[in-house]
Every structure is written in C-alpha cells, then in structure tokens.
Structure 1
C-alpha cells in the first residue's frame, strides 16, 4: 500500500483521499455500472457500524465534507475534517472501505438512486456526446461500457445476485496493494503516520492486480470519420480529434503541452484570430480529450458561427497549414525554455488549493507518477524534447482524425443507446480529406511571440505595519480606495478590485441586458490583447453585477498596478465593436436561451435570485431583448453607465504605500472625467410581511423539482448566527431521510443562502420519480417531524456551536482567498474587518432555547418569509394560504425592499 503524508501547519483540518486502481473498466460485462453501485454501497454500513452514512454524518458534524467518484480506471473516496477528530474519522473511513456490509435492502434503494442520477443526465449534452463517443469506438475496449448504470442494467439480477457481484468486485480490487492513500494534515507527520498505520495495518497485503493489455481504442474504420451529432441545446461545435498513444510516460517532456500551448494561443496572428477574422469560429480550445492507460485523444474544440458550419474544409486547411508552421519553426529552444519557466512559476507561486482538492489530486498522482515526482509531476518540464514533439505531430493526419460536427437540424441515421442522442458516422468526405493535404502557407498565420509579460519576480515589499489590514487611503465624493499589504503569505502577488455602482442600472431590464452585452464585447477585445499576460500569471476578470460592473485583477504584483489602471482606461474608451458585435451578441443570445435546458434545480435557484434581488432579471426575458440589440444600444448604455457612477476599490498584496499611491493618482485622474454618485442601494424583496409565495418555473426536463426558501427575520448578527446553526442542524437528517431512506429524489440538500447579506435557508429536491406535489408533502412532513424532535438535538448543541466557531475561525489558505474576504468586508461596510469575530462572540452566547424559538419562527413564518419554487410537468395543487407569483415584474413592482 502506498501512503503519502503531507504536513501543512497553515491549515486547521486534515484531508484524506483513498484512490483504488479500479473503475468502470472492471465492471462485469453483463452488469455495466457495477463499480458505480459499489461506490454508493460503501457509505451504507460496514462491520464497524450498520448505520447508513455514519461517516458522512460524523464528518459533517465536525466541519468537513465527504465524497467519492468512480472513473474509468480509478475510484476515489475523500474527506476533510478538523484534525483533532481525524483519528476517529479515519477509523470509520478504513472500515467503510475494508468491510462494507452491502445489504440487499440498500442495494435496492441505491439502484433507484443511480437510476435517478442517470435520468438527471439524460438532458445533459456532454453526457449524451460521451455516449456517442463510446458507441463509435472499439466495442471490445472497456471504454465502450456504460459507466453509470441504471435500473435496466441492474434489474435482470436479484439483490442477492448483485450482492455477490459487489463482494467479488470488492474483494478483488479493494485491497492494500491496489490502494494509494494520501493525507494532508495540520498534525505532525509522525503523528499522522501513526494514525494511518493504526487503522490500515490490518488490511491484507494482497497482490498487485495483473491485467491483460487492452485492445486499441479505435478500430481502423473508426478513424478518418465524420460523426454528426444533434444536441438538445442550441450549439454549433466542431471537435477535431487525433488519436494518440498513452502519454503518462512523457510527463517530463510534455510534448502535447507544447502543441496545445501553440494551437490554443488566443493572441493576434494565431489560429483562433484567423478563424474569427473569417467569421468561422468564436472560441478555440486545444489539448483536452479522454485518456487512459493505453490511449489519449487530442481535441481541438471550436465554437462555430453559421458561416463556419459551411466552411469545414477551410477550417481544416488552416489548421493543417498551422501544423506545418509548427513543424517548421514551432519547437524552438527559446519556446521550450519559456514554457519551463511558466511551469516553474506555477509550481512555486500557485495558489494553495483547498486541502480536500489537493489530497484527491495527490492520490491520483500516486497512480500516475513515480514516488519522487508525485508532488511535482504535473509541473515537471525538465526533459523537453523537440524530437518527441515532432513524433507526436506525426499523429496529426486525416487518416488518424475523427471529426464531431455538433449542431441542430442535421441528418442522422442512428440513436445512441441510453441517452437517445441522434448521430451518424461516416467516412470523411473526399473534399475534407483533400483540405488537409498539400496545404499552402497562410501569410496572416504566425506563431506566438516571446511572452513580454514574463519578468523577474520582484522582491517582497518592506513591511509597513499600519497597512496590515486594508486602510482607506483616498476618499472623495464618488471614490473610495483602500490599500492593504499582505504580510501573511509572503508571495510577490496581489489582488486589485474596482467596482462601479451606476444609477443608470435602475432604468430596467433593457439597460441590464445591454450592459451584459457591452461587458462581453469588452472581454472579447481584452482577452485577445492580454492572452499572454494571463499565461504569465497576470489575470483580469471583468463582469456585470446587479448594481453595475466590476474589474478585478490578480497574480504577480510586479506589473499589476499598471495593468489594472491600463485596463480601466481601455474599458471606457473602447467602442470598436463592429467586427465582433454579431458574433458576441449571438453567443449571448445562445447562452440565455440555453438556460431553459439547465437542470430544474439550477433553474429554480436562478429564478430565486431574480425574484429576490431588485435589479436581477430572468435570462429568458433578457434573451428576447438581446436578440434585438443593436450596436447603438451598447454605446448608449456604456455612456449611461459611465455618465454617473460611484467607484470603490482595494489593492491588497505585495506593494508599498508609494506604489499604491501612484495607482491612486491614475484612478483619481480617471474619476475626475465623470460625474459622481453615491453607492447604489441594491434592494432585497422583503418576504416577511407576505403569505407563503409560490412560483412555477418552466423547464425542458422531465424531473420535478422544488426549492423551499426561508428568509430570516433580520440581518442582525444574532439572526445570521441562528440561521447558520439551524441549517447545520437540519442538513444531515434532511439528506438522510429524503435521499437515503425515502429516496424522494437524487439531488437533495440544504444550504445557508444569504442574499445581499440577509440570511436565509434553502431546502431542495429534484426527482425523476416523485411529483412536485409529493415532494412538497414529503418536505413539509419532514419539517413538521423535525420541529417536533428538536429537543433531541440539545445534546449536540454545544458541539454544533463549537464546529461552526471553528469553521469561522479557519485561516485563509491563500492570498486571493484573503483578499476576497477583506473586499467582501468592505462591501458589507465591515470596516473593522471583525464580522467573524462578532459572529463567534454571538454564537458563544446563544442558548438552545433561543434556537428552539428561532426554529419555530422560521418554519411557521412568524416574522419570517417563505418562497416555494416549483418545476413540474404535472398539475400542482396549491394551498389556500399560498399566494402565487404569476408575473415577476408585477411581484417586484409591488414588493417592499430591504436595503
């Protein structure tokens, strides 16, 4: 058994991941989905405890999360938890993995759950395309197996027969020699090592699994093909795939990274720039694709315009012309040195991910890399080889290519099993093959130049203790600028924030829609211009929000302040949108219209924010306006937004006050060009004075779904604390009852959901088997029983409070996380940056009797508000005391707003 232990004193938790080298490739040929079913069953009782979800409940009660995933050749189980109870958690984790009960009663229930999961994905175009991929590869390769499983694949076996299959699968593959375990902990390595040994040393030693070599992923007639696929969502995509051998052994040379780095360049003169100029495509990504122990697909993914749909030969001719250019001059030594440097910067100065994410990646790395390179294998680039790159480019040929053409209203002759995806596979037409041969150079195509944003990393700024927390360093009407110097992470990085509150946004949905289009057009321009800056670790994010729009930059500090102020100027002066207007507008219309096809739960939560937030609007309503937008509307909107605004900003990171003041001077000079206003009040609908509100949302999906939202009485610290505690108290029993025991739905959960800093709770269920009426009745029955049993929770009250306090006391794991938190404090007018401290003090003072009173008020609408959102294909019976929202605009017009 391989074990990796990492000590990290900057965190307060321990994260653990167990990855077994087995996945759906090992499913029985007559029972596809078996590995997925086994993943589900491991959580439902073991030799140590018969209680279902016992580990999940324990982890949740101690500030952590637990999850699992089944892949093609690996299966992973992972959790995080506060370190002082890691010993107890790992004991349960080991038992869960080693000795599952696999009870027949739960087998029958989990078949229902997996079938619900399958039905949930039937409207997912990615999953539908994936199934076409499986059906058009070698049927003797295990990739062709149906990985998810459903009622149909399982129901031909009795529960006892499935139990035998599960036990046989578990006994063969869930053994120590087939396990990679990784742990990241705040505990000393020596202590963590002892805990792991205590709970895993009893595992049988086992033998390394020996497998027969897999056959080729594609048969000869499955290459050099055109696959035409009809999606559900409006989409126009071309995926160009080249079939390659496995790449794991080349992790230090990374030949495909070199090729994708060049092909995917979004700057001037690149392949995407050429396609945009021809009005053939709006976006391009290169390098993705499925991979495994004996295969790797290299994908070039294009979003096509209408003109591009009819220009496939030209698209391919340009691609192969560019590939020839790469072969001639693309693998130069300076480019390899530059890429190695970019990888080194990412390794040395990358943001620390969440421990649970990092530990999962490490357990997978233990499968992919030798022990000495488990930590750095993803970044190593010390064996770059032009010869290796050229050998990979030899695979980029028409007879080794698969084209997937994806758009609606095309002729197909086959329907993929399980997901009912219409498709047609045929040999590439001669015209397409010919377009890849004897290609001529294209003068406007050029390879990426040396990255001018790569520079020596600057030194850390001299500490200035008065700026440890953000300080208001400039104030004038319509402009507040804050500065803080990071002294915790000691990295040459920083974050800048600028947010515009624009009174013009109160004019309604039209200006909000045109603002969205204007921001998209600006992003289109700036992304191309600053593509290399992004590669070099200097990032920007320009986005609309309900009060206006915001600009954020982050990354290396050396050139960032100049970068940020330069972007600020370009945002307001750029009006040259003629060449890209129709492309970007059509993309926005498509995004807004496709929201109808989102899964019901997502649709309901989107609509919830539309109903509650004063200046938020429904995507489907914006789509109609967007479709009629003209360039003059965008220019008029830009002028209206900038005609008067309030600007607030913060710089936090590796800068001195002198550098910050230089940036202040530039922002102030910019600010003086425009009229100022006060910060915009963004209203939140007050539900507390209304009867129960109910709203129906259309969705093109067969599942029914319900979201119940409860709005707390106020936004005072005590009510926020009580709302958070109540959600933590209800989360586990709600999931266990609705999902595990009663199987009401597959997507089941709860969440603390504040809007405009006002606390609230949402309960949600999506189900393929229960109607919305049945879901509502089940939820109300649960809530009634839960309130009647609240006194039973008194014994965990102290632990519940302690767990939430510990969560609020956790330190930031990286600089950007801290910057975001401090910026949110400024937005919430918490200028002492002490909201968490105040919250902790409030939680410590709360009594269980206060929680009892609050729970009754929240659930029975005493000075609280309730909004129920429903998506259903069935007739829904509403209660007499419910008030239906039939018009969003009328509801918001008549509403009282909390400021």
Structure 2
C-alpha cells in the first residue's frame, strides 16, 4: 500500500511526524488490538513485513505463504481503517524512531543530505528534518503539541482512498483477489484524489556557495547539484536520463576517464536519484558525485571547471539521437527480458508507480524512452549553470575558524563564497580540453536473443543439477542449460587460484593491489558492457580471483576474451599504483567503522585460522612499492587453477569454447590441489565460552553491539540437509518473539535480529542487538531474559511430527542455545 503522503507534509512544529505515524500503524488496530498480532501472524506463516516514509509517499508491504494471504490482508487492511495509536505504544515507539535515527547518525551520506536540507532557503519545503528523533518529537510535546492528536489529524487528512494505491500479488485468480480486496478494504474512508501541494518561491539554495562538511570516514567527496523543474510528466522522453548517461559515463572521452587519467578521482556518478527529495513534485535534483584522491581534493575548483567544459561541449554538439536510441533499445530489452524480483519489492514498486504513471504505463514507465525531443534536452541542459549549482565537499581534511553546526546530526561545516570571476569562467569556459568527447557506439548491445533450450531435447532426469563437462589439471568446468526461465541470459562464475596469493600478509596485500589495479585497468570496457546489461565482477577470495560475467549472453564471449587478454598481459603503471594504493589504504582505515560490521569481523577473526588483521595490513601496506608488485606478478600468474560454472542460455559447445578462451590466454602450469589455499574454521571445544570486548572504532559512535554466536557443527554428509532444515526451522520459530520482546516491548535497540550463519561450511547461529541506549553488558542480561521466555514458549507449544528423531534433535539444539 502506497499512500500519497510523506515527510514533506510534516507540520513544522513536529518534524518527523510522518515517519512516526508510519511506525504507529504497526501497533495494533480496533479489530486486532494486540501490538504484535500482524508481525506474529506473518512470522508463523513464513512471512515478513516492512515500511518506509519518503518525501511524498509512505509505503507498507509484506509477503506471506500463499494460503495465508487473505488472513494477512485482513490484518494489513486495518492499518488503513482503524489503527489504535495508543499512548503507551507511542511512548515506546518514540524510542524506536530515535534508535533508527541513531543508526544513521555517523553516516556521511545522511549527514550531507541533512546539511543540504538545513542550508536550503527558509520556508522552502526541503528546509526540514524528515527523519524525526526523540528530541524533535519530545520538543514538540514540551511546546504544547498533542502528538497523538496531530497524528490522528494527519491520518484523517491523508490516509484515505483518494491517496492510496494498493497492489496485491497472489496465486489466486484475479477475480478472487479483487473480491478479497473489495471485502477487506471496503471500510477505507473515501477522499479526494488531490495530492498535497507545496508552495515554492525562489531557488532551493543560495547561489555562489561552497559547503565543506567534516566527514566521519576518511573520504574526499565532491558533490555538485543542479535544480531542475519537476519532470514527472516527461517520463516518455526522459531528458534527465539522457544527460545522466553522458555526464556519468566512464568510457574514453568522459569526465570520469579524464579525471582518472589525471589521478584526481576514483569514481564518478551522475543523475537524478529515485530516493527522497531528489525526484519530487517540487523539483528534480540532478547530482554529480565524485570521489576524489588526495591530489583531486587540492584541485576541486579545476575539477568543476572541467565539468563546465564538458557541459559546453554538450551545448556545442547538440543532443544526439543515436545516443537516445541506444538508451531506448536497452530500456526495451531490459523490460522485455526482465527477470522476476522479490514479490514484496515488486508490489511496492508498482504501488509507487500507480501514484506517478497513468494505468497503461505502471509496469513499463520506468523503462520507456518513447519520444526523442531535442528541444526538451536543450531546455534541461540550460539549467546546468553555476548560478543554479550547489557545491558540497565532504572530507576529513577540514580546517577553518568559522565552523557552523547542523543541529540534528551535530555535523561541523563551513560555508565559503565562490568568487564572481570564477563563476564567470565556469559560465562560459574559453576552451574545451581535446580529451573530452562523446562516447563511442556501444559494441556490447546484444542482437541474438534465440533460446538454446528451444531446440534441445531435455532429459528431465539430468535437468536438476549442473554436470561436470571438463576436468583437467588446469581447469574444471560445470554446466547447466537453462530450460526453465528461457531468457537470453547467462551466468558464468570462475574462481582462479593464484600461486601464493594468500601465503602470508605480504602476498595477500600484493594480490589485493594487483586485483584492484586489474579492475582499474578493465573499468572502461566493463562499464561499456554494463550499459548493455552485461555485468562483470572482479574480486579476491583468499587465494582466488573471482570473476563473474552475467547478463545477455550474446556478447559474453567477446567480453570474456577482452577481459582475459588484459588480465594476462597487464602490468601496472606508477601513476595508477599510487592512486590504487591510496584507495586501498583509505578502505582499510574506514573498515569496521559501523559496529554491526565490526562485530561480524571480530567473529570471523576468532573463527578463521588464516585471518589477516586490518590494522596489520594497514601498517604493512605503507612500505609496499610498485617494484614489489612487479616482482610478485610473474610468480602469482605462474601456476593457476580455474573452476567455472556456466548456467543459462548457453550450449555445451559454447561453454567448451569459453574454456578454450581461458586456455589460449593462460598457457601456464596447472596448480595442484595441495597448493591451493583451503580456509579452515576453528572448532570450539565443548562448553567453550569465548568473549571479545572491543571499543568502537569511531569514538563519536553512540551505538553498541552485542553478538552471540553459537557454533553447531560442520556441513558433512547427507545429514547436513536435515540439519540445515532444523536450523532454519529454529530461526522461523524464535525470530518474531525474540524481536517482539527485545525490540517492540523493551525497546532495547532498533536492530534486534537472529539468523543462521554458515562459515566455510560450518553451521552456526547468531543473536544480535544494536543499541544506542544500553551497553552490551545490559544487553546480555536482556538477551538471557528473552531466551528464558522463548524456552517457556518452546515448552508450552506442542510440535506434532511423526519423525521423533527430527524433534529430538530440534529440542537438543533449543536446549544447547538456551543453556548457554
């Protein structure tokens, strides 16, 4: 259910109220007064739910097993008919909103977003604090605002049929689904179709300003923003998508390629985001985000100057219809061969689209490029001027006497004036660098969409599992033809063991540098293929280079040939080595800044026998040189082993041809199995009780984390499947009451979760709490209390199953967890 009401409609005296209202709808209704009834019902029937509040809409969604859809809809419908909004629930849920805010408190992206709201012109709809927290809501109460009365007034004004869009996806016939909806949602109040309108006078931000925001992480980010008119009605033309394609391109001639060659930037993205206030009825905000190197940070004004050179180039060359047709073709192909996505996500997406598009384009509107309009593109390009630009720089390198404070996140920032002469220079650059030009035509756009399985006789007995079609000392290939989905796509995964890649700390770091430099070298070709929906992933897994190519299969062999040829011959240059080393160093410094990630890292540090610590890597990295890497690469590539899995729209012969591409590029000695790294996990002795107590890395972090990990046993033999089923069953049983007790009732923290863990084929189970209010010691006590409640529930509820062996084993694991 998508409701055409969001945070832009917050009353100024109670900011965050739309978000708070979203929370309160989960807290019981007249027909189902128990606060936990909805979540409990979904959990018992294999389901889950969530909700979110955006600038102009709020969306609620759930999924559940098919036979329980009507029961879930009955409970869901009451959100929009008769929510209770109880005072005692409000008092607790204020803490949940506050905990959610505290999750975002140390996030540089959210801090920048709020700074942009804070520094927007007073009275503008964007000049707000949409998150809401305890302070904003309690302050409202202290000023005499009756929050419950305000919430009920907002609910009355906006939660009516005229502003609601409902999508139900189920296995039943459409007539039956419609009958259920009519029956269950009949009592939703009727209302007018008009959505909230906002008065806007003048620009969002003052012109000629540069804002420097002190970062939490070690980053240098330059963000440029231009305010465009609302383009919701121009979705058939998508002029902003045309400009995003060119300004965010990464091929030769692009701004990204240019800044990368100068050693100023490591990434660049551009466009109008789908999130929050960037795509609203008030305005579209076109952003360009550039991650800078240390050198690039010193050249910010030059970087902006080159952006305006490229914009001038676009003015001079006029909009190009062939570029639009490429986007049109890829949009059509993406829609024609769209793969199924999670149904609750798809329902949310369609419900949002019902607020935006006419009925005939609810499904197709995001993909369509129907009309070429050169004048419209020229008109939108005219908004990309210095006077209409906002500049933000996010960095730890922050020195100024005139520091200001954003009140909600407590961020430090300074505001600088841009000189009139510089504004004039950007307005009309005298020259355009010859390296800047439009992209070349895309060679990876697919042409062949024939389905291989249509011409094959499929033996159902051999259809379920991949088969090994090649097993040689150098490589082993697995293959499965897709005869189920019948789409012109393929997924190919390759793990390439490299000699000595994980032997010690030095070799591990040199391998990481090599793979990052290889990705850097491949970037332009990989980007071009990704535009044509043929994706590539290059990553390091212990001593393995993980290579994935997936998407439309037509040009996949062409891309693989190019990637492997570069990987086989490539040697890094000094300029790129410096940039990549700096980037790896920055990544290591930023590791484990979030407590949840830090706790997972500490668990793996205990479990894995081979584990190279982040701080040790950071210290060792400083002394590594290009000559070290050049000496290491020949040895690294001297012996390899390749294991591949090819699945999808590929014939067996095509997969064997792919194996020959590897053979032609890697004429090296095969690596025997004894030389390949094998990750080993420590087996906890019976009764083990390991405790790690570590301070948060970011001293400004308000959140603490308690993670309880219980090791079960290795995944071995035919019993492994049964054991996995039992663990998943245990998870289904304990997840909802665990969450209800510690999150809903006791408000221990916003994150309360539990889930199975498989660490290199060793089963385990984790309970995790993140709290900004309580310490881990307090959380341990509350977690034990929750266990006792769960154990009582487990003993009280009968489980009927003829297989007593499974029940006995399940009970054993319940006792193992609770007795610890």
**Category of TM-score, reference length = shorter chain:** over 0.9
Name the SS for the 1:481 alignment partner. strand
Taking the aligned partners of 2:494 and 2:202, their CA distance within structure 1 comes to 50
1:410 maps to what in 2? 399
Taking the aligned partners of 2:41 and 2:636, their CA distance within structure 1 comes to 50
Taking the aligned partners of 1:512 and 1:52, their CA distance within structure 2 comes to 51
Name the SS for the 1:222 alignment partner. coil
Q: Given the alignment, which residue of 450, 463, 466 partners 2:441?
A: 450
Name the SS for the 2:166 alignment partner. strand
Superposition deviation, residue 627 in structure 1: 3.3
1:849 maps to what in 2? 808
8 Å CA contact 1:712, 1:719 repeated in 2: no
Superposition deviation, residue 653 in structure 1: 1.4
Structure 1 residues 575 and 845, CA, compared in 2 at 3 Å: closer, same or farther? farther
Alignment of 1:495-644 (within 5 A): 495-502=491-498, 504-598=500-594, 600-644=595-639
Name the SS for the 1:712 alignment partner. strand
8 Å CA contact 1:238, 1:303 repeated in 2: yes
8 Å CA contact 1:243, 1:400 repeated in 2: yes
1:383 maps to what in 2? 371
1:606-658 Cα deviation digits (max 9, x unpaired) = 22223323334333332223333322333344444433333211111112222
- Contiguous gaps of at least 5 residues in structure 1: 1-17, 799-842, 862-899
Does residue 14 of structure 2 align to residue 61 of structure 1?
A: no
1:465 maps to what in 2? 458
Superposition deviation, residue 779 in structure 1: 0.9
1:711 maps to what in 2? 711
2:113 maps to what in 1? 130
Structure 1 residues 845 and 639, CA, compared in 2 at 3 Å: closer, same or farther? farther
1:250 maps to what in 2? 234
Structure 1 residues 569 and 443, CA, compared in 2 at 3 Å: closer, same or farther? closer
Structure 1: which 4+ aligned runs deviate by more than 6 Å? none
2:752 maps to what in 1? 748
Taking the aligned partners of 2:13 and 2:44, their CA distance within structure 1 comes to 40
Taking the aligned partners of 1:431 and 1:731, their CA distance within structure 2 comes to 61
8 Å CA contact 2:538, 2:548 repeated in 1: yes
Q: Given the alignment, which residue of 649, 655, 659 partners 2:654?
A: 659
For structure 1, which segment, 257-266 or 196-205, has the greater mean C-alpha deviation from structure 2 after superposition?
A: 196-205
Superposition deviation, residue 675 in structure 1: 3.1
Q: Given the alignment, which residue of 420, 428, 442 partners 1:438?
A: 428
1:398 maps to what in 2? 386
1:35-55 Cα deviation digits (max 9, x unpaired) = 111111111111111211321
2:779 maps to what in 1? 775
Superposition deviation, residue 91 in structure 1: 0.3
Name the SS for the 1:648 alignment partner. strand
Superposition deviation, residue 465 in structure 1: 2.2
Q: Given the alignment, which residue of 144, 157, 160 partners 1:172?
A: 157
1:346-398 Cα deviation digits (max 9, x unpaired) = 11123322111111111111111111111111111111211000000111111
Name the SS for the 1:238 alignment partner. strand
- RMSD in angstroms over aligned alpha carbons? 2.1
Taking the aligned partners of 1:452 and 1:423, their CA distance within structure 2 comes to 45
2:738 maps to what in 1? 734
2:21 maps to what in 1? 38
Taking the aligned partners of 2:309 and 2:322, their CA distance within structure 1 comes to 22
1:307-340 Cα deviation digits (max 9, x unpaired) = 2222233222221111121122251222221121
8 Å CA contact 2:510, 2:629 repeated in 1: yes
Q: Given the alignment, which residue of 331, 340, 352 partners 2:328?
A: 340
2:688 maps to what in 1? 691
8 Å CA contact 1:712, 1:858 repeated in 2: no
1:141 maps to what in 2? 124
Structure 1 residues 100 and 27, CA, compared in 2 at 3 Å: closer, same or farther? same
Superposition deviation, residue 436 in structure 1: 0.6
Taking the aligned partners of 2:406 and 2:199, their CA distance within structure 1 comes to 24
Structure 1 residues 672 and 475, CA, compared in 2 at 3 Å: closer, same or farther? farther
Structure 1 residues 264 and 845, CA, compared in 2 at 3 Å: closer, same or farther? farther
Superposition deviation, residue 506 in structure 1: 4.5
Structure 1 residues 417 and 543, CA, compared in 2 at 3 Å: closer, same or farther? same
8 Å CA contact 1:282, 1:304 repeated in 2: yes
Superposition deviation, residue 524 in structure 1: 0.9
Structure 1 residues 137 and 81, CA, compared in 2 at 3 Å: closer, same or farther? same
Taking the aligned partners of 1:750 and 1:133, their CA distance within structure 2 comes to 36
Superposition deviation, residue 97 in structure 1: 2.7
8 Å CA contact 1:330, 1:447 repeated in 2: no
Does residue 314 of structure 2 align to residue 317 of structure 1?
A: no
Structure 1 residues 333 and 565, CA, compared in 2 at 3 Å: closer, same or farther? closer
Superposition deviation, residue 133 in structure 1: 0.4
Structure 1 residues 479 and 690, CA, compared in 2 at 3 Å: closer, same or farther? farther
For structure 1, which segment, 459-468 or 653-662, has the greater mean C-alpha deviation from structure 2 after superposition?
A: 459-468
Name the SS for the 1:292 alignment partner. coil
Taking the aligned partners of 1:95 and 1:721, their CA distance within structure 2 comes to 34
8 Å CA contact 1:137, 1:217 repeated in 2: no
Taking the aligned partners of 1:844 and 1:388, their CA distance within structure 2 comes to 68
Q: Given the alignment, which residue of 184, 187, 207 partners 1:199?
A: 184
Taking the aligned partners of 2:803 and 2:166, their CA distance within structure 1 comes to 37
Taking the aligned partners of 2:687 and 2:631, their CA distance within structure 1 comes to 38
Name the SS for the 1:31 alignment partner. coil
1:821 maps to what in 2? none
Superposition deviation, residue 670 in structure 1: 4.4
8 Å CA contact 2:240, 2:272 repeated in 1: no
Superposition deviation, residue 217 in structure 1: 6.9
Name the SS for the 2:28 alignment partner. coil
Taking the aligned partners of 2:238 and 2:195, their CA distance within structure 1 comes to 28
Taking the aligned partners of 1:791 and 1:330, their CA distance within structure 2 comes to 74
Q: Given the alignment, which residue of 221, 233, 247 partners 2:217?
A: 233
8 Å CA contact 2:639, 2:668 repeated in 1: no
2:101 maps to what in 1? 118
Superposition deviation, residue 478 in structure 1: 4.2
2:147 maps to what in 1? 162
The total of aligned residue pairs comes to: 797
Structure 1 residues 288 and 623, CA, compared in 2 at 3 Å: closer, same or farther? farther
TM-score relative to the length of structure 2: 0.93
2:89 maps to what in 1? 106
8 Å CA contact 2:493, 2:548 repeated in 1: yes
Name the SS for the 1:233 alignment partner. coil
Taking the aligned partners of 1:197 and 1:688, their CA distance within structure 2 comes to 59
Taking the aligned partners of 1:762 and 1:165, their CA distance within structure 2 comes to 40
Superposition deviation, residue 498 in structure 1: 0.8
Taking the aligned partners of 1:160 and 1:393, their CA distance within structure 2 comes to 45
Q: Given the alignment, which residue of 394, 414, 419 partners 1:424?
A: 414
Taking the aligned partners of 1:233 and 1:693, their CA distance within structure 2 comes to 30
1:834 maps to what in 2? none
8 Å CA contact 2:51, 2:60 repeated in 1: yes
